[in-house]
Amino acid sequence: MHHRAPAPSRRTLLTVTAAAAAAAVTGVSTPAHAEKVRPDDRKLRRIIDRMSLEEKVGQLFVMRVYGHSATAPDQADIDANLQEIGVRTAAELVERYHVGGVIYFTWAHNTRDPQQIAELSNGIQQAALAQPTPIPALISTDQEHGIVCRVGEPATLLPGAMALGAGGSHADARKAAQIAGEELAAVGIRQNYAPVADVNVNPANPVIGVRSFGSDPAAVAGMVAAQVKGYQRAGVAATSKHFPGHGDTAVDSHYGLPTITHTREQWAALDAPPFRAAIDAGIDSIMTAHLVVPALDPSEDPATLSRPILTGILREQLGYDGVVVTDSLGMEGVRTKYGDERVPVLALKAGVDQLLNPPKLDVAWNAVLKAVGDGELTEARLDESILRILRLKAKLGLFRNAYATRAGVERVVGTAAHLAHADRIAEATTTLLVNDDGFLPVGPATHGPVLVVGADPASPSGTTGPPTTTLATALTELGFTATALSTGITPTAAKIDEAVAAAAGKRLVVVGTYNVTASSPQRTLVARLVATGVPVVTVAIRNPYDVARISGQRATLAAYSWTDVELRAAVRVLAGRARPRGRLPVPVQSAEDPAKVLYPVGYGLSYGR
């Protein structure tokens, strides 16, 4: 049966006292503009003095590029580079535009395997250090883990943010980040766009969701600080995102411009604490959000382009003097109000240091160059950002040694110790939400053949198996006889009939659910399978909110992602090889009445000792 417990509604979560708001805003450190004198600044300023204006402009950009090699990509990637950037290769990108950084994507074919990634990184560094003013590149990626992951197996894949939030262990969060950081550094990636610092108070959030550690600002802040320390202990610049907070939106900023309606007091109590914790932990970089917060800037410019938000609040009020990087400038949220040639100029005027992935690099690069020529931007303003970028590169040791090594990759990436840590951490995150009459755990000796059906979204990293196959394989390895049938995120009537027919004679059906909505045919799939009389266990492979829209199942587990490490952990819990120890880091509200909370923060069933 579904357990109901009183808990605050979303409206209550957004209601804060003036005293709480004041406490969240006061006690800030010295404004960043009271610039600190640092030992290496004299050397770094000498480098800046040698740079041409074109090199200075280039140093501000972090750009995508297609291909597995810096000098010899596949022909299709050469064609894509010529069409989108006007260069053939990563090396030509660095040579022509003097970019200060490169971002890796799976879809850009940058991350085939660890040794290839290391060779690509070395090729980019070789091109950067061959420039008239040799400056190492800062190579970055989005390796949040969970549902956002660019470097896949054989690298270690770890639980994502909400799973770690369910585990509740700062030590595990720190260890996961340290493992991830060590493996990224080994392949030459020294800036990671993680951890997510957004507080997910809106279940309808289409872009954050399980990428957040949870809905409680203090809990999220603790996890963010732990991960910052883990990444940076491993020699990788952590990046908390998306400032000033993307947790309460129903619009995806990739495709539109969201508006956050929090008052300034609500923002201070709900959204600010994780960013403050990141700054206190020594965060190296912070990423901006393409969203409007009228209470923080009445001009309704997106935060990425807002001087009141980035300079007034982030730099002066919160005292942050590290690198500020935009979210991708190709996203619709930052392009709706101004043209692509104005966005990078306005971002720099707002207080940004790194301009990430503009849709047309030549347009953005020339716009900044022109703004300096016209006097809209001063060269001194560019120097201010370049100094921050070079400070970070110096801190990471890139001026001493920018290169990855084959031996380092073999020694660090995907080791047995790292994989064992990943499994251990994942086991502590699986959350048991429903267990009718103690149905779980089940054992292979008493429960016969198993059918696994459900959604099979694409792998976040492009390397792990479809979820239904992963679940079936994990069950088989534990002694079950399991078969997999993919029914999809939107199963057709024919697929549902096929699943019902396949359930005949089975002792158990496991259904992987994926963001079930009111109109989702996944609800019909579960209902039809329940009607067969075969016991049904559902595993939410993304948002844990699915349990509010399905009924009749004997048990429900929340895995928070469909990567192998989290699904294998869920199977071990299902089979009694591990105890369910995860606790919800977000409330699950009634689908019919959002004021009612079915499962509050901290809820989770268990069994065994």
Q: What six digits make up the tokens of 446?
A: 């008493």
Question: Could you tell me if 44 and 391 are in contact, meaning their C-beta atoms sit under 8 angstroms apart?
Answer: yes
Nearest in space to 272 (alpha carbons), one of 252, 299, 296: 296
Q: For residue 259, which phi and psi values (nearest 5 degrees)?
A: -120, 130
d(CA 306, CA 304): 6
Catalytic status, residue 33 = no
Residues 64, 69, 73, 76: is their CA dihedral positive or negative? Answer: negative
Nearest in space to 96 (alpha carbons), one of 140, 45, 61: 61
Question: Could you tell me if 404 and 62 are in contact, meaning their C-beta atoms sit under 8 angstroms apart?
Answer: no
Cα 167 to chain centroid distance, Å, stands at: 17
d(CA 471, CA 478): 11
Nearest in space to 284 (alpha carbons), one of 338, 320, 247: 320
Q: What six digits make up the tokens of 541?
A: 């492979």
Q: What six digits make up the tokens of 323?
A: 């690198």
Token pair 């660019």 is found at: 150
DSSP E strands in 156-312: the ranges are 191-192, 237-243, 285-288
What does each C-alpha distance from 146 to 32, 71, 154, 597 come to in angstroms?
34, 32, 15, 26
Q: Check 2, 170, 254, 447 and give the catalytic one.
A: 254
What does each C-alpha distance from 398 to 86, 197, 232, 314 come to in angstroms?
28, 27, 14, 27
Question: Could you tell me if 339 and 301 are in contact, meaning their C-beta atoms sit under 8 angstroms apart?
Answer: no
Catalytic status, residue 142 = no
DSSP-derived pairing of the beta strands 555-558 and 431-435: antiparallel
**DSSP for 29-95?**
---TTSPPP-TTHHHHHHHHHH--HHHHHHHTEEE----SSSS---HHHHHHHHHHTS-SSHHHHHH
- Beta bridge partners, 536, equal 509
What does each C-alpha distance from 228 to 221, 222, 265, 316, 502 come to in angstroms?
11, 10, 26, 22, 47
Q: Check 113, 142, 327, 546 and give the catalytic one.
A: 327
Question: Could you tell me if 512 and 455 are in contact, meaning their C-beta atoms sit under 8 angstroms apart?
Answer: yes
Q: Which residues are catalytic?
A: 254, 327
